[in-house]
Amino acid sequence: MRSSWEISLRCFAPNHNLYAVKVLNRLGSGWLSDIIAGMEWAVNNDMDVISMSLGTSTYSAIFEEACNATYNAGLVIVAAAGNEGDGNLSTTETSYPAAFDSVIAVGATDENDSVAYFSNTGPYLELAAPGVNIYSTLPTYRVTLSNTYGYDYGTLSGTSMACPHVAGVAALIIAANPGISNVEVRQILQQTADDIDENGWDPAYGYGLVDADEAAGNDTLLPIISDLTPADGAYVNTSNVTISAKLSDPSGINGTSIVMLLDGSSVIPDFNSTTGVVSYYAELLSDGLHSVYLEASDTAGNTTNASWSFTVDTIPPEKVTKVTVTTVSSSQLNVTWTAVSDAEYYNIYRSSDNVSFALIASTTQNSYLDTGLAANTTYYYYVTAVDNAGNEGESSDVAWGTTAELPKMHVASIDMSLLIRGANYYALATVTIVDEDNYPVEGAMVYGHWENATTDSEVGLTDADGKITFISDRVRKPLPGTNFTFVVDDVVKNGWYYDESANVETRDSITV
């Protein structure tokens, strides 16, 4: 159906295709599945704008997902905010789909541009439009609304009457700007709305009363300046600097005029109207703070600007001094140095031969714990300071340190005994593991085996006393002279060295 009739009633967007997709019954109620199906039909049939004068107070994740999918497909979605308003702006009356982020929620105003007493208010309200005593068409067959007004025309009030005003203006914007995105349409609606109370966005009017002439008649979108280089507040370590920014505009950037000031003086930048990149190569800048001002004006006279600053620093930090390496353990060395005043962080370099050094870490502290090193090994270090511009100072003098040897352990004793249970004989071997100072070593894994009377293998961890007791397999009615021998094969503990040369014994026997 066309939105231009051969009678005295015309809508906001004449000569646009208008499609009525039935999703509710004659009583004005229906299922969410039907509404979602209608939205899917609109997507599949390349519609531009959906106007929904309907709502529910019950949230549905599936309904929100459908609206998000429709919006992501490029359609503008407009919905009535709801008619449960209580006149109190501190309360929120919620109606869906209007409350979804992907939907433009429309409240109602009267002939004085005042918010209608019934209009929902709240944080999701985006725009307002006329919605009191709106004269419009009614169905020519019996439905709930026409029971009172007849079957031709009628005067109704509600956010459902306000919603189509915004949908029509959205259509006008699309007609005036072929190829415009739904995000940009929404931006234009917000930027061109009349701010009735001049307070900016508020929960009663949203961004304001929709303005068809302003929205559709003029390009009011500001150019956008982004990707500032060097970034605001950045430090650079060269006196030759490329200053650049990215320029974009929903209406196109051809014909855009550019003004750039560097430290208050006008410079002429290069402007690539294809990529939108504005750039200027500044040479021989002095060390210190430099300011940039960039202004862009499009062909419609919309002007935006950006100001930022950066610091040139070509002087490296001082040399790091008093580097000291301290032994912490068999796998750790601690490197310390005197802090440098203008250092942002420090680089630590290490070598195992005092010839080939490699960067191993960076830290903001004036110390570094180097871990995972080999035991009883000498390592060499130097440290440099790096400032916030990336300048790296002179290398410190080389300092070195040696990791400790691994703590040593050995077998202190093997104590043998017999366990007799009736005709069954067992041999017991208690192995004791100690360190170099003869203190017990807990948690050492002892591997061993039995010989002669039995041939089974054993493995176990020493307790807090450094001991582990192994029991042989059973020997039934052994003959006199039967010999049980236990042999320690290996002792293992992470971070320890098994010093076999210090073993007091590695085998012992007992005879029946």
Q: Let me know whether 294 and 240 are in one domain.
A: yes
Q: For residues 172 and 168, what is the distance between their CA atoms, to the nearest angstrom?
A: 6
Q: For residues 419 and 453, what is the distance between their CA atoms, to the nearest angstrom?
A: 14
Q: For residues 114 and 85, what is the distance between their CA atoms, to the nearest angstrom?
A: 14
Q: For residues 182 and 178, what is the distance between their CA atoms, to the nearest angstrom?
A: 11
Q: For residues 235 and 482, what is the distance between their CA atoms, to the nearest angstrom?
A: 85
Q: Look up the CATH number of the domain holding residue 483.
A: 2.60.40
Q: Let me know whether 117 and 208 are in one domain.
A: yes
Q: What are phi and psi of 166, to 5 degrees?
A: -70, -40
Domain count, the chain: 4
**Domain assignment of residue 86, yes or no:** yes
Contact 337, 346 (CB under 8 A): yes
Q: Let me know whether 109 and 157 are in one domain.
A: yes
Contact 225, 249 (CB under 8 A): no
Q: For residues 314 and 236, what is the distance between their CA atoms, to the nearest angstrom?
A: 8
**Domain assignment of residue 21, yes or no:** no
> Which pair of tokens denotes residue 74?
């490029």
**Domain assignment of residue 42, yes or no:** yes
Q: Tens-digit pLDDT profile for the chain (512 aa)?
A: 334 444 444 455 555 688 889 999 878 889 999 999 999 999 999 999 999 999 999 999 999 999 999 999 999 999 999 999 988 888 889 999 999 999 999 999 999 999 999 999 999 999 999 999 998 877 766 666 556 656 677 888 999 999 999 999 999 888 878 889 999 999 999 999 999 887 889 999 999 999 987 787 666 678 999 999 999 999 999 999 999 999 998 777 888 899 999 999 999 999 998 999 999 999 999 999 999 999 999 877 789 999 999 999 999 999 999 999 999 999 999 999 999 999 999 999 999 999 999 999 999 999 999 999 999 999 999 999 999 999 999 999 999 999 999 999 999 999 999 999 999 999 999 999 999 999 999 999 999 999 999 999 999 999 999 999 999 999 999 999 999 999 999 999 998 999 999 999 999 999 99
pLDDT score recorded for residue 47: 96
**Domain assignment of residue 191, yes or no:** yes
Q: Let me know whether 75 and 59 are in one domain.
A: yes
Q: Which residues contact 13 (CB under 8 A, 6 or more apart)?
A: 3, 168, 169, 171, 172, 175
> Which pair of tokens denotes residue 284?
């021989």
Contact 282, 259 (CB under 8 A): no
Q: Let me know whether 149 and 234 are in one domain.
A: no
| Domain span holding position 445 | 408-511
pLDDT score recorded for residue 76: 98
Torsion sign, CA atoms 56, 60, 64, 66: negative
Q: Let me know whether 277 and 414 are in one domain.
A: no
Q: Let me know whether 192 and 341 are in one domain.
A: no
**Domain assignment of residue 73, yes or no:** yes
Q: Distance between the two ends of the chain, CA-based, in angstroms? A: 112
Q: Let me know whether 42 and 178 are in one domain.
A: yes
> Which pair of tokens denotes residue 55?
């709502």
Q: Let me know whether 191 and 296 are in one domain.
A: no
Q: For residues 475 and 471, what is the distance between their CA atoms, to the nearest angstrom?
A: 12
Q: Look up the CATH number of the domain holding residue 339.
A: 2.60.40.10
| Residue pLDDT, tens place only, 68-85 | 999 999 999 999 999 999
**Of 252, 287, 312, which residue is a domain's last?**
312
Q: Look up the CATH number of the domain holding residue 243.
A: 2.60.40.1220
CB 348: neighbour CB atoms within 10 A? 23
**Domain assignment of residue 37, yes or no:** yes
**Domain assignment of residue 439, yes or no:** yes
Cα dihedral: 220, 97, 70, 5 (round 10):
-70
pLDDT score recorded for residue 137: 79
Instruction: Tell the burial category of 335 from Cβ atoms under 10 Å away from its Cβ (0-12, 13-18, 19+).
Output: buried
Q: Let me know whether 151 and 191 are in one domain.
A: yes
**Residue ranges in 269-387 assigned as alpha helix (H):** none
Torsion sign, CA atoms 173, 174, 180, 186: positive
Q: Look up the CATH number of the domain holding residue 176.
A: 3.40.50.200
**Of 402, 426, 451, which residue is a domain's last?**
402
Contact 247, 276 (CB under 8 A): yes
Q: Let me know whether 51 and 191 are in one domain.
A: yes
Q: Let me know whether 279 and 231 are in one domain.
A: yes
Instruction: Give which of 306, 358, 368 is closest to 333, Cα–Cα.
Output: 368
Cα within 13 Å of Cα(48), Cβ side: 22
**Domain assignment of residue 8, yes or no:** no
Q: For residues 279 and 124, what is the distance between their CA atoms, to the nearest angstrom?
A: 40
Q: For residues 85 and 131, what is the distance between their CA atoms, to the nearest angstrom?
A: 13
Q: For residues 250 and 259, what is the distance between their CA atoms, to the nearest angstrom?
A: 20
Q: Which residue has the tokens 């100001």?
A: 307
**Of 312, 338, 369, which residue is a domain's last?**
312
